[in-house]
Each structure stands twice: as C-alpha cells, then as structure tokens.
Amino acid sequence: MVPANLSGATRLVPILAHPVDHVRAPRFYNPAFAAAGLDWCQVPMGVHPDDFAATVAQLARVGNLQGLNLTIPHKAAAHALCVRLGPEARRTGVVNTMRLDADGQWSGESFDGVGFVEAARANGVLRTDGPVMLVGAGGAGTAIAFALAAEGARTIHVVDREPGRAEQLVDALRKAFPGIAADIEARGIGQAGLAINATSLGLHEGDAMPFDAALLRTDAALFDIVAARDTELMAACAARGLKVVGGKPMIDHQIAAQIAFWRGDPPH
C-alpha cells in the first residue's frame, strides 16, 4: 500500500481536497516522481474549505515540503493565496500547483492547459489551423480553450450541457483573444479538425456519449480527456478510423511541467 523506502529524506507534495476519498492522483504522480529519480511523495490530505488558508500556512512551515497540489474545491482559493501567478493561472483564475519561493511567498500556476497542448503536440493532433470543437466548458474545458487560443487556434466552437457556461467561456475567449472566432455552434463539429471531450462523460461505463462520433470528419482527430479508461467515444471514433488520443498523455505532460515548476523553474 505504501512505499518501502519513504523516509525523512522524502520531499512531500500534499494534494489538498474535500472530500478526499476519491482522489487517485498519487497513482499517476508518485510513479512519475520515481521515474524522474525524485524522492518525492504526493500525499492526499482531506482539508475542509474553512481550513484551507490555515492549513496552507502551516504546511509552508514543514521542512520537507516540496510544493502543493490543489483539487476540488480549493483551486480558486489557492489562486487567491498566490503572490505570483503563471500565465494559465492568470487566464483561468484557478491554481492547481503551488510552490513556496525563497522569499516565503507562494507562486501558483495551473497546468491543465499546458498538459493538453503538449500531449496534443506530442501525439500530432495539435490542429490549431482548422476549427476546433470543444465539448465541456468547465474547469478543464476552460483551461484547454485558453491554451489552444494562446497556441494560435482561430476557430473554437464550445458546447456544454449548461449553455450559459459555454457562452461565458466564449465571451472570455473573445475578450482575451480579440481575433478569435469563438461561438457556441454545435453544428461546428462537422467541420472540426480536432474534437475534444472535456466533460467527465465516459468516466463510467454506461455514461451517455458527449457527442455523436458519426458527425466527425473522417480526417478529424479526437482528444478525450478521460484518463481512467478507454471511453466508448474513443472506441467509436477509432472504429471510424479517426486518430484518437486519451487523457493519460495529458496527465503525463501536466506532471512533467509541474515537476519543473516545483523544482523552481518559472512557469511556461
């Protein structure tokens, strides 16, 4: 269940969550730390929102702290505690990664967007010259949309089961990237070179499909951010011969960028 050689020399990366039971991130992060030759351990801690700021302040004084990971519901509160913010944190208003700098102040950044972009690039599906269809305008979808826009994407269609959320993201994109063609046009899927599932649909067997694979161009690519399993959407797109990328490379690229940040590199 636990490492044979965790020791006092191990550097800690607590991941703060509430509730904490469902957190499975250490299964990705700890092997990645080991593969990078780092004696670090990501440790889930269940912290109530009321205790968040005080817990972070106390953890700042722990001698073998390497950094912090934040997940639901702490990402906006983490943003508020950081004196220095990376570009993705500034764009999205959330922080999932914190580092204590030499002056005792926190630097914060989010890495969902860079994780997506680098995974898409590494897998040859970073298609920013044609239209992109983004399904899901929550935290991950927002990070991905901004990162794609920052990479030069010209046309992004956004849909969400809460239409207001999609509209809000489109407005924010237009404000941040005045030249962009962003809309909430679901029929855009027929022209998209890249379609993205940024919802959690597919995480559980029997989930509804986030969209109909049959609507996609045969030369389109699918990026499904669900990492825990191969989704039915991925299978349907693969059956049509489309290029398909799952969520695991996004996690791997995110972790690589986070490790560099925790080591002290400036954010991307």
Distance between CA 252 and CA 110 in Å, rounded? Answer: 14
Q: How far apart are CB 55 and a second copy at their closest, in Å?
A: 6
One residue of 49, 62, 152, 162 binding a second copy per CB under 8 A: 62
Closest to a second copy by CB, 27 vs 187, is 27
Q: How far apart are CB 28 and a second copy at their closest, in Å?
A: 10
Catalytic residues: 75
The neighbouring-strand residues paired with 42 are: 13
Which residues in the 229-268 window bind a second copy by CB under 8 A?
none
Which residues in the 35-54 window bind a second copy by CB under 8 A?
38-48, 51, 54
Alpha carbon 138 to its chain's center: 11
Q: Does 55 bind a second copy (CB under 8 A)?
A: yes
Region from 58-66, 76-84, 161-169, 172-180 binding a second copy, contact rule CB under 8 A: 58-66
Distance between CA 216 and CA 63 in Å, rounded? Answer: 52
Q: Does 214 bind a second copy (CB under 8 A)?
A: no
Among 176, 104, 189, residue whose Cα is nearest residue 143? 176
Q: How far apart are CB 261 and a second copy at their closest, in Å?
A: 19
Q: Hey, what are 151's tokens? A: 């990479």
Q: At what angle do helices 26-35 and 248-262 cross, to 10 degrees?
A: 60
One residue of 23, 145, 234, 250 binding a second copy per CB under 8 A: 23
One residue of 49, 58, 217, 234 binding a second copy per CB under 8 A: 58
Region from 26-34, 85-93, 115-123, 193-201 binding a second copy, contact rule CB under 8 A: 26-34
Distance between CA 29 and CA 36 in Å, rounded? Answer: 10
Q: Does 200 bind a second copy (CB under 8 A)?
A: no
CB 107 within 8 A of CB 86: yes
Q: Hey, what are 245's tokens? A: 């990328």
Q: Does 9 bind a second copy (CB under 8 A)?
A: yes
Q: Which long-range CB contacts under 8 A does 55-64 form with residues at least 24 apart?
A: 55/16, 56/16, 56/81, 56/98, 56/106, 59/14, 60/100, 60/104, 60/106, 62/12, 64/8, 64/9, 64/10, 64/11, 64/12
Q: How far apart are CB 43 and a second copy at their closest, in Å?
A: 5
The neighbouring-strand residues paired with 224 are: 197
Closest to a second copy by CB, 34 vs 208, is 34
Which residues in the 115-144 window bind a second copy by CB under 8 A?
none
Q: What is the DSSP string of 191-248?
A: T-SEEEE-SSTTSSTTPPPSS-GGGS-TT-EEEE---SS--HHHHHHHHTT-EEE-SH
Closest to a second copy by CB, 47 vs 132, is 47
Site size with a second copy, rule: CB under 8 A: 44
Closest to a second copy by CB, 55 vs 191, is 55
Q: How far apart are CB 140 and a second copy at their closest, in Å?
A: 19
The neighbouring-strand residues paired with 196 are: 134, 223
> Which residues in this chain contact a second copy in the complex, by CB under 8 A?
1-10, 12, 17-24, 26-27, 30-31, 33-34, 38-48, 51, 54-55, 58, 61-64
